[in-house]
Amino acid sequence: MSPVAVVTDTTHYLPADVVAQHDLHLVSLYVRWGEELERELAMPDFDAFYERLRMSKELPTTSQPSIGDFVAVFEPLLEAGHDVVSLHISAGISGTYDSALQAKAQLEENGHAGRIQVLDSASACGGLAFMALAAAAKARSGGGLSEVAAHARAAREEIKVWFAVDTPEYLRRGGRIGAAQAWIGGALKIKPILTLESEITPVERVRTSGKAFERMVDYMRSRASDGADAWIIQHIQARDQAERLVDRGREIFGTEPTCISEVGPVIGAHVGPGLLGVGGLPAHFLR
């Protein structure tokens, strides 16, 4: 039994088999359409959500897990003898990290002091995924609470992710533009390329999907040149493009991707269908 259990939230979007393989424990965020509230973790697939998103005049809202949601995951792990490292979507775009901190404080008052560390990934999707996998690797090798947390923080320093958005419409309507506000504005005939460093940050603007795709290839080359030999591809309703990007990644890295996955509704509600993302990390963090 690993001395440390790794908890994360659903916005990493790793495939279910990868989550199980690395013994990650999940706390779900939520999506609300009017009075309908659904746990992202309970959605069997995302196709129905994205079809509804395309057709709806009103965007859904998203919300963080409650303190109780975190306690329900943390407490059984602590009682089973694990310490807990809990890694979450950037505090710059979600209150999830704060909910986890409050759950930690509540459990510390009830006899579990010093047994939980909560980390802000300052990222989401592929960035959070890599950070969680790095933490799981250190836990699997027998690392203690401080070692696992330190390894995850060190990995985060080496993670870079980029994502191309098919249209800025969803970002604009959802109000989650962050530092990209100034140059997205009302210009909907562009393909923004963004990253997430605490908040959504603009990288560049291109005019066509083809150009956005080639820029994703360029970013993979830059990661390979920097020695980041673990790589990830994520998308929203863009499976064919993702597969083409994987083919290019195989040529660049000479390896298979850490994973290919679809980004789910909590992030997808704010960026919309058509997203294509890449990320990289030195593979030694995952061993």
CATH number at residue 73: 3.40.50.10170
- pLDDT confidence tier of residue 199, bands split at 50, 70 and 90: confident
Average pLDDT on 193-207 reads: 90
Whether residues 177 and 251 fall in one domain: yes
What domain count does the chain have?
2
Whether residues 222 and 94 fall in one domain: no
- pLDDT confidence tier of residue 189, bands split at 50, 70 and 90: confident
Task: Name the average pLDDT for the chain.
Answer: 94
Is a pLDDT exceeding 70 seen at residue 282? yes
Whether residues 198 and 102 fall in one domain: no
Whether residues 62 and 119 fall in one domain: yes
| Element spanning 196, H or E | strand 191-197
User: What pTM, to 2 d.p., does this model score?
Assistant: 0.95
Whether residues 145 and 215 fall in one domain: no
Residue 173: per-residue pLDDT: 75
Whether residues 133 and 31 fall in one domain: yes
Ranking 94-108, 171-185, 229-243 by mean pLDDT, the lowest is 171-185
Q: For the purposes of burial, counting CB atoms within 10 Å of the CB of 257, is it exposed (0-12), middle (13-18) or buried (19 or more)?
A: buried
Alpha helices in the chain (DSSP H): 16-21, 47-55, 67-79, 96-107, 126-140, 145-158, 169-174, 181-184, 209-225, 239-253, 265-271
The whole-angstrom separation of Cα 181 and Cα 177 is 5
Domain boundary among 123, 138, 157: 157
SS3 content of the chain, % helix, strand, coil (to 5): 45, 25, 30
Whether residues 84 and 224 fall in one domain: no
Is a pLDDT exceeding 60 seen at residue 185? no
Is a pLDDT exceeding 90 seen at residue 177? no
Whether residues 201 and 223 fall in one domain: yes
Whether residues 139 and 169 fall in one domain: no
**Which amino acid would we find at residue 70?**
F
Q: How far apart are the first and last CA of the chain?
A: 17
Domain range for residue 188?
A: 160-286
Query: What are 148-157's pLDDT values in tens digits?
Result: 999 999 999 9
Residue 175: per-residue pLDDT: 61
Residues 19, 26 contacting (CB under 8 angstroms): yes
Tokens matching residue 94? 């979600």
Residue 190: per-residue pLDDT: 84
Is a pLDDT exceeding 90 seen at residue 168? no
Whether residues 178 and 74 fall in one domain: no
| Chain-centre distance for alpha carbon 82 | 24
